[in-house]
Amino acid sequence: MKPTTLSITPAERMQHLPSQFFAGLVKKANAQISLGHDVINLGQGNPDLPTPPHIVKKLQEEAANPLYHKYPPFSGFPFLKEAIAQRYKEDYNVDLDPETEVAILFGGKTGLVEINQILLNPGDVCLVPDPGYPDYWSGVALSGAEMKMMPLRESNAFLPDYTALSPSDLDRAKLMFINYPNNPTAAVAPASFYEDTVRLAEKHNIVVSSDFAYGAIGFDGKRPVSFLETPGAKEVGVEFYTLSKTYNMAGWRVGFALGNKEVIRLINLMQDHYYVSLFGGIQAAAAEALTAPQTCVAELVSTYEQRRNALFGALTGIGWEAPPSRGSFFTWLPVPKGHTSVSFADLLLQEAKVVVAPGVGFGAHGEGYVRLGLLAPEARLREAAERIGKLGLF
């Protein structure tokens, strides 16, 4: 008997998900690699260095603990929440109640999508930076809400200009994303910006979602400011932190939501229906990362700063001028005249075998720029600049 083929009709929400712009970039790069070309991939955001050995060792030890072979507590082990609270106190002098102001996440991305689902209804407005991390769009789409973009322009240090937002959008908005150190622009935010953000949120009853994924990575001796350092921040929002960048633990999927008690309660409630928290051995290793001496973090930031200096020194040598990155492990560079961000990225891949991320993939206001990652050794970064310089574009 011939089996019946079902007609699968996706839920309507699946039709509204944004396309994965960078999947095409990966496909193009892999095509060049398959032809045997030596491709320097600076278009990714995936840390290239291994997790520090003491963290790996802790996981190896704790994996044998029978306690962790059972279901963990739904919202995670208290010791991990206490560890993140301790880290925030030491690094930012922010007091967090581990039980009510910390939620454990399956990576920061999960929380950035979940916060839309717990707060937004169809027709609500979310304020989103442009350019910005594309998964903000995904969460808004899944909630059925509407995005209003906040342009990030070089003339305003890649900070949103709140005075330029329309009163109607501000009145309708229920949620706002901010992200510093910034992906993709590598900008950082001063304390005064966060003070303005808290005032805006209070006035218009908007929940602030601060994406602090690159919070540990600041250059020239300046530690990035946490949104939660601002008086009143916990009353109006939450901050998302991840171990992916600070400790090269991207594959471990450990993140946190921190701040407003009601938002934290709602995140935990939603996750109760999705997950039974992280494997206990990973939680123990994450706590080790947070509470052990932070020498590895200082060394990592120093490595990225040396790479930044090497790359910008080489770029200056070929005439490609831009302000050096102030934070994150990215660089944000203008494309030469006569090119779009996509045409320029395609040219670099085809002619120089260097992968960069077109700025338009991060939003309409990313047009005119490309993003390069500091995720290769200094020699490869210099080589990438040398290859690009031979094209005579600058």
Per-residue pLDDT of the chain in tens (394 residues, 90 and over written 9)? 666 788 898 888 888 888 877 788 889 899 999 999 999 999 988 999 999 999 999 999 999 999 999 999 999 999 999 999 999 999 999 999 999 999 999 999 999 999 999 999 999 999 999 999 999 999 999 999 999 999 999 999 999 999 999 999 999 999 999 999 999 999 999 999 999 999 999 999 999 999 999 999 999 999 999 999 999 999 999 999 999 999 999 999 999 999 999 999 999 999 999 998 999 999 999 999 999 999 999 999 999 999 999 999 999 999 999 999 999 999 999 999 999 999 999 999 999 999 999 999 999 999 999 999 999 999 999 999 999 999 999 9
Does residue 244 sit in the same domain as residue 346?
Answer: no
* CATH number, domain with residue 181: 3.40.640.10
> Contact at 8 Å (CB) between 207 and 263?
yes
How many domains does the chain contain in total?
2
Alpha helices in 52-77 (DSSP H): 53-62
Q: Do the beta carbons of residue 140 and residue 17 sit within 8 Å? A: no
Give every strand in the sheet of 125-130, ordered side by side. Answer: 102-105, 255-259, 237-242, 207-211, 173-179, 125-130, 146-151
Angle between helix 78-92 and 280-291 (nearest 10): 20
Euclidean distance between CA atoms 18 and 134, whole angstroms: 8
Last residue of a domain, one of 241, 258, 291: 291
| Integer-rounded Cα radius of gyration of the chain | 22
113 lies in which domain range? 53-291
For residues 189 and 285, membership in a common domain is answered with yes
Asked if residues 307 and 378 have their Cβ atoms less than 8 Å apart, the reply is yes
Q: What is the pLDDT of residue 78?
A: 97
Asked if 80 and 68 count as a contact pair (C-beta separation under 8 A), the reply is no
Model confidence, pTM: 0.95
| 94 within a domain of the structure (yes/no) | yes
**CA-to-CA separations, 7 to 2, 3, 134, 378, in angstroms, rounded:** 15, 13, 31, 53
